[in-house]
Amino acid sequence: MKITWYGQASFGLESASGLRIVTDPYDPQTSGFKPFPDAADVIIMSSDNDSFHCNHHLVPKREGAEVINALTVAQKGGSYESHGVVFKATEAMEHLQHDEHDPDQNGMYRFSLDGIEFGHMGDMGNAFSDAHMDFFKGVDVLLALAGGFPVVALEELKRIIDETQPKLVIPMHFRTLCYKPRGMFFIPEFLKLFDYAEVDFAFDSSAELSKETLPESTRALVIDYI
């Protein structure tokens, strides 16, 4: 399967059969990232009220495409199936001292594609509870909030990685040269969580993944944005 980082918390994940899932679509005008180039079968958002995470209307859609609000899934049983993929979600909250507005609820989520279990940290701004840790255990690939405040602190991210032990950690939601907000860290701060020998670079906005080629112990994979 192929994973593409569009920017911010948005990825395109395409299975070997061609099914495409898009996560947390941003607004190119406010974020600085490019418009979405690929049509989706499923769009999953961590909330429906955050312009950096919820813009499903800006993603091209294939016939029969479905939009999923992870927070709604978390509040209504925690599981939802679309296009043969089961999405599981748990409630989260933005940082309680958010600079720009009162903190909003959102959903963190996980799903399996081509035998690889992905976990997405949504827009979580606070320390993980034991229930949050349990939710992410068994994830192969953690799509990790890597920019620090106003999302999870990097010290807390290190604790999450150590306890859940994903095979790959792919950073997202950090400052880039095109990203318009200026408050978050650039990628070097995230890389300090790892030994240099534990970090790989795709040198592209996409990477090919398979269950068979995942590392045996945790590594970071840095993907460029489109």
- Please state, for a pLDDT cut of 90, what percent of the chain lies above it: 94
Look at residue 11 and give its three-state secondary structure. strand
Contact 115, 94 (CB under 8 A): no
pTM: 0.96
What percent of the chain has pLDDT above 70? Answer: 97
pLDDT digits (tens, 9 = 90+) for 135-190: 999 999 999 999 999 999 999 999 999 999 999 999 999 999 999 998 899 999 99
Measured between alpha carbons, how far is 218 from 54 in angstroms, rounded to an integer? Answer: 30
Convert the pLDDT of each residue in 21-54 to its tens digit. Answer: 999 999 999 999 999 999 999 999 999 999 999 9
- Give the CATH number for residue 8: 3.60.15.10
- Determine the structural domain holding residue 109 and report its residue range: 2-222
Using the CB atoms, write b or e for 139-161: b if 16+ within 10 Å.
Answer: bbbbbbbbbbebbbebebbeebb
The number of distinct structural domains making up the chain is 1
Contact of 145 with 152, CB cutoff 8 Å: yes
